[in-house]
Structure 1
Amino acid sequence: MSENSEQNGRKSSNKIKNLLRNFFTNPVYIISFLIIALLSIAIVYPLIKIAINTFQWSARDFIPSAVPGEFTLYHWITTITGEISSSLLYQPMANTLAIGASVSVLALTLGAVLAWLVTRTDIPFKKTLGFMMILPYMFPSWFKAFVWLIIFKNDRVGGSPGLIQYLFSVGPPDWLSYGFVPIVLTLTSHYYVFSYLLVGAALSTISSSLEESANILGASKLQTMKRITFPLVLPAILSAFILIISKSLGSFGVPAFLGLPVRYYTMSTMIYSSIGSGRPTEGYILSIILIVLAALIIYFNQKMISKKNYETIGGKDSKAKLITLGKWKKFAMTGAVGFVFIVSVLPVVLLLWQTLMLKDGDYSLSNMTLHYWIGDSNPDIANGYSGVFKNSTILSALKNSVIIALTASVLAAMAGLIIGYIVTRSRKMFSSKLIDQLSFLPYLIPGIALSAIYLSMSTTKILFLPVLYGTLTILILITVVKELPFATRAGTSTMIQIGGELEEAAKVSGASWFKRFFRIMLPLSKSGLFTGFIIVFISAMKELDLIIMLVTPSTNTLTAATFGLQEQGYPQIANASVAIIIFIIVVVYLVTTIFGKTDISKGIGGGK
């Protein structure tokens, strides 16, 4: 009996030793463990911490019986059922859901129609049209809010008149200048790109044999589209819906610029206002509710996709034949050109025009100046602000933005590639599935909510980390975390396409894992690395929602500086700053595309 026990003990001991030996001798296991640990610290821990904070008294609670750190339901009761719950929670939530639903319907429809036009018809200049249609993705979404104000602002709310009032001496109604309508239309003109890319990618893979068979059987073009084409692109439509509504629900810049002047609050602007006005716990509760809303919508969307199996028929004739537009070609071309002019060209022209206006609201040529670009400080102009290229505050913010964008882009792209390698090379392992799920988690969290989460944890020491608030480190970290799902998708898409033969041959030859990865896998996955880099760089350079509550005077970014300038009533300097952001993004995108052969659609779901 004792001998059997000893033998069993030795077997168990040997098994544990073998497991430990395999773990420490296999770099994949070690890297997987480190990734899980880092993702847990960067994503899971902050979520748990902010949830705990909402059930505790804080030092800012001026309640006689409040003891900081002790358990309480006071903040939840105040937010959900208190006297201010209507203005604090329910009205902003209703506004947020209305905006999200409206933007989703409009952007999905618009993007799908444009995708069909470019991918399935014989419309000319497809390459140029395609580039111009994705150009708004490179613009900050809130930049369109600036342009909207340039055109539709009235002197009743905005102080100085917009272009329409200047030309016709009649100010647009308040509902067209601020509030629900301009917010929805502005966000739609930005987020339709997701629908265009995803639906376009799906349409380009549909076999023409399916549609031809339907036509032979007597189905009309409308019936064919309804019964064959639409069901096949439905997964892409639902994926685009998730991207659009998750972005819309958490959007901060556009609702702030077009909503706050008329006290039209959304969840994101109420989070910002609550934390900024000394009610951080209520802001954290709103963040949790916003995360739950986004997660529920994504969950039910995924359930819809999983209920059906969508497949296209492969074979030699896998490419769909183009539809001849005939007499409608000129009309379609005119509409497409007009659309890209309105959403891609006109906004930039108007933005640059306003940077040259000495006095806001005066659009005459005699009012033109370069002061807001290269002018010295003049107390009679913009309260003494010098031009952007001579303004130390703007230049410092630009430096911070570039440092954050470049650092976060490199880190996220490399992390995405390594995670993609782990996920594709060890699919059957539990750790692989866990890493995949953890890296996707930030996708569920709206940017402003993640900003609130990181604000709650960055003011104190966490484990071995020092206080990060007021450093560029926290801004880089939150950017990497938020963009990790997209960088991971780009890395995974690339790794799937790389066979394991070369790596196996190198392994047999005695090459270490690090040598195999950096000498073989990394060069072969260059396109995925550049794709992840440019996706994160674009997002980081134009990011406002994610960092607005984390910046300080020493870590101010160009986007945050722009927000402050617009709020203070200096739109010319703000727009000049936006123009710099757009210029940098477009230049880096073109350089990366040419030399890295990137495709940003792979990072947001459009790639194969």
Structure 2
Amino acid sequence: MAVSSVKELKKGRKFSWTRLKNQFLGIVGNPFNVIVFFTLVILFVLIIIPLLIMIQNTFVVAKAELRSIPGAKIGDYTLYYWKYLLASPLTKTVFWEPLLHSLVIGVFVTIISVPLGSIIAWLMVRTDIPGKKVLSSMILIPYMIPSWCKALSWLSVFRNELSGSYGLLTGHGIPVPNWLAYGPFAIIIVMCMHYYAFSYIMVSGSLRSINSELEEMGEIQGANKVQILKSITLPLVLPAFLSATIMTISKSLGTYGVAANLGNRINYYVLATRMKEFINDSPKGVGYAMSILMILLASGTIFANQKLIGTRKSYATIGGKGTRRNLIPLGKAKYPMMVFLIIFLFISMFMPLFVLVMESFQIVPGKGYGLDNLTFYAWVGRIENAPNPAYAQNGLFANSEFGRATWNTIKLSILGSLITAIFGQFFGYVTTRGRGKWYGKATEQMIFIPYLMPGVAFSAIYFAMFSRPRLGGLIPSLYGTFALILLCSVVKHFPFASRSGSSNMMQISVELEEAADLAGARFWKRIGKIVIPLAKGGFVSGFLLSFISIAKELDLIAILMTPANYTLSFLSFDYSKEAMPQVADAICIVIILFILVGNKVAEKLGGEVSKSMG
């Protein structure tokens, strides 16, 4: 009886436009739903559509390839680019050799830098090593020095006659073989001195959350320090260690600046440098195909990380009793370990800076630091008074290109970081408040996509999308504009800013907003009075990481550069190719000072690099 009445009621219910209108207004009238809607639209337009367009371009005939594909018309379907890359007489040269080089570099950089950063993290967090306060303030400075600047400092020491100007050793009559000056050995060493920071930041954060009582219990049971480290500490930091491993190998696979500076001179190409050649020249579709393969390669490493960790993605290392950390005494190893850290900082921070500064004042590179070989020309000189006929440009402060590049770098760093940090907070708000719901998962998945992509591959996506007008002009041609570089920089850094925003929003209890709602406060007032003030620290941290990354960025913007939009990074890279190492070094010094000053200002406002990287 009851069932039949329900069926009759359902049959008798008529469609009501009024009811539908009220439901729609109820959804639209909720500001949170509006934020979710625009978040999903923005991410779909800025991430999914560009990726689909680039994939499409690998199957469509471009004008430049009409002569290579008989009978083809522009826009026809083709497998030409994929065959050129994977099944042509040039496949070994253009794909397999660069792929092998990339894998060799990625594996060796990971094997060296991840344990190195993890050991440093353990020494700084869990031991009684002397000078910890000073060392901890300096340990991340090498990360703020762009990796391609370290490549230039390597060349300043080891450069030989192949580069057109001598390095320090060759200039003093010490022969330097090509395998030492250029190629895989040089690239791996330089990258290791930079990418150790990932494992240091992640492992140190994990170690800080471990209650030392766990290790003390092992010691009470008779375990020695090695057994405690192996059976207790290492399993607890394993997720952080594996995440650092995957991030390091992904980054090193896609690095362009270091590989171009230290590899191209001896025709040692990696996937990133080969890909840029194709995209800047032709056939561009082959470059797009290579970028897709790079994305798949990087994605594979990420998913391998998730598979390895499995259900052990986190450990309950913080309980209701609180967390206590007792430092592990190093005993006689205390001072040798301190010396080890000092030597590491000397090699990774002081030496690169010293070499760059000194070479920027040299008349002839490699001829020593005597007063007869020092000049301020690279800084303030003019071409008519050049002490060395090899100079082809004015010094920095007399060079209009430097002024334009400085302004472009300031604009890009500040605007890009502000926009990224703002979006990161909103994305973090949506993912945390939508945790377990479809829109929260969708937002999180789309934000994660740029993280999978090496910088040079990601910029290829935007090059493909905005190289010409699309959809009748709805998508404009932005190639050669500052707007395209800014847009690419912002979207690429969404994952890091969002992670900072998510960590921040998870610390802001929903109960605070619920209490304000009960008191009659509207949504935007709750956001303005509760969420934004409490989120300031996370916002500054997200801004800081984006600022450091964008200010020193080369890989991401190399494909998009035109002379009018040169940044300091690309101008330095360009000068280094023109046998003008002094001016290139001077620009590096300016970039490093800019980053350090920005970092110091952000720290005063409550930002911290380690927090912004999670």
Q: TM-score, normalised by structure 1?
A: 0.96
Q: 2:360 aligns with which of 344, 355, 363?
A: 355
The separation in 2 between residues aligned to 1:225 and 1:317, in whole angstroms, is 22
Q: Deviations over 1:281-322 (max 9, x none)?
A: 111110000000000111011111124365244354622311
- Equivalent positions of 1:441-452 (< 5 A) are 441-452=449-460
CA distance in 1, matches of 2:47, 2:515: 37
Matched residue pairs, number?
601
CA distances 1:417-450 after superposition (whole Å, capped 9, x unpaired): 0111111122233112111111111000110001
CA distance in 2, matches of 1:400, 1:242: 33
Q: Partner amino acid for 1:355? A: S
Q: Aligned-pair distance for 1:3?
A: 8.1
Alpha-carbon separation, structure 2, partners of 1:196 and 1:264: 30
Note if 1:287 corresponds to 2:297: no
For residues 476 and 562 of structure 1, the distance between their equivalents in structure 2, rounded to whole angstroms, comes to 19
Q: Paired residue for 1:193?
A: 197
Question: 1:19 aligned to 2:9?
Answer: no
In the other structure, the counterpart of 1:92 is: 98
2:268 equivalent to 1:264? yes
Q: Pairwise mapping of residues 90-489 of structure 1 onto structure 2 (< 5 A)?
A: 90-155=96-161, 157-167=162-172, 169-308=173-312, 310-313=314-317, 314-316=319-321, 318-365=323-370, 366-378=372-384, 380=386, 381=388, 382-463=390-471, 464-489=474-499
Check 1:137–1:14 CA distance in 2 against 1; reply closer, same or farther (3 A cut): farther
In the alignment, the residues of structure 2 paired with residue 379 and residue 269 of structure 1 have an alpha-carbon distance, to the nearest angstrom, of 37
Name 1:10's counterpart in structure 2: 15
Distance in 1, Cα, partners of 2:322 & 2:517: 39
| Correspondence 1:535 to 2:545 | yes
Deviation at 1:216, TM superposition (A): 2.1
State the one-letter code of the partner of 1:439.
I
Q: For residues 458-491 of structure 1, what are the alpha-carbon distances to aligned partners after superposition, in whole Å with 9 as ceiling and x for unaligned?
A: 1222453321111111111111111110000111
Number of the residue aligned with 2:568: 558
2:608 to 591, 599, 602: 599
Specify which of 548, 564, 567 is matched with residue 558 of structure 2. 548
Q: Which residues of 2 match residues 50-69 of structure 1 at below 5 A?
A: 50-61=54-65, 62-63=67-68, 64-69=70-75
| TM-score, normalised via structure 2 length | 0.95
Q: Partners in 2 of 1:428 and 1:109 — Cα distance?
A: 35
Distance in 1 between the 2:316 and 2:212 partners?
Answer: 10
> How far 1:388 sits from its partner (Å)?
0.7
Partner in structure 1 of residue 534 of structure 2: 524
Percent identical residues: 39
Partner Cα distance (2:107, 2:316) in 1? 29
Provide the C-alpha distance between the structure 1 equivalents of 2:542 and 2:314, rounded to a whole number of angstroms: 28
Q: Distance in 2 between matches of 1:470 and 1:514?
A: 38
**1:390, distance to aligned residue in structure 2 (A):** 1.6
Q: Secondary structure at the match of 1:598?
A: coil
Contact 2:164/2:579 (CA < 8 Å) preserved in 1? no
Alignment gaps of 5+ in structure 1: none
Give the C-alpha shift of residue 8 in structure 1: 3.0
Residue 70 (structure 1) aligns with: 76
Whole-Å Cα distance in 2 between the matches of residues 8 and 513 of structure 1? 35
Query: Is the Cα–Cα contact under 8 Å of residues 239 and 312 in structure 2 kept in the other structure?
Result: no
Residue 592 of structure 2 is matched in structure 1 by 582
Distance 1:216 1:6 in 2: 73
Deviation at 1:9, TM superposition (A): 3.2
Contact 1:290 1:446 (8 Å CA) reproduced: yes
Aligned equivalents of 1:511, 1:163: Cα separation in 2: 67
Further displaced range: 51-60 or 549-558: 549-558
Offset, 1:206: 1.4
2:379 partner amino acid: W
| Unmatched runs of 5 consecutive residues or more in structure 2 | none
Shift, 1:20, TM fit: 1.2
CA offset digits 1:355-393 (Å, max 9, x no partner): 101112212321111111111232754544111112111
Deviation at 1:190, TM superposition (A): 0.1
Q: Does the CA-based 8 Å contact 1:531-1:598 persist in structure 2?
A: yes
AA aligned opposite 1:232: L
Cα distance in 1 between the residues matched to 2:265 and 2:500: 39
Aligned counterparts of 1:140 and 1:285: Cα–Cα separation in 2: 28
Residues in 2 aligned to 1:310 and 1:550: alpha-carbon distance in whole angstroms: 39
Return the alpha-carbon distance in structure 2 between the equivalents of residues 308 and 581 of structure 1.
Answer: 41
- Conserved in 1, the CA contact under 8 Å of 2:431 and 2:441? yes
SS of corresponding position for 2:134: helix
Shift of 1:14: 6.1
RMSD: 1.8
Aligned equivalents of 2:164 and 2:412: distance in 1?
35
